[in-house]
Amino acid sequence: MIKKLWLNLKHIYLKVLSIIIPMYSPMQGIGPLQHGSLGKLSMQIEELTANQDLLIDQVSRLVKVVKTIQEAFKHGAQ
């Protein structure tokens, strides 16, 4: 429960950063060549957000599979 809450807070934090950082750029979007470390940070945030979304999906699928297996064992034991 606490880990899920922590992941959600981290996810929100990364989303907020990915919205705020491009506001500092006069151009559309931020590239590492034009903006150095700020552009690299923006790209890392986008990559982390995408990876986190994928991880959350995979964990939710795994939880469903585990629950299905637990239910099968409960019905098999009865």
Report d(CA 23, CA 74) in Å as an integer.
54
| Of 50 and 35, the one with more pLDDT | 50
Q: What is the pLDDT of residues 44-67, one digit of tens each?
A: 888 888 888 888 888 889 999 999
| Of 18 and 69, the one with more pLDDT | 69
pLDDT for res 65: 92
Half-sphere CA count of 20, side-chain side, radius 13 A: 8
What is the value of pTM for the model shown? 0.45
Report d(CA 58, CA 51) in Å as an integer.
10
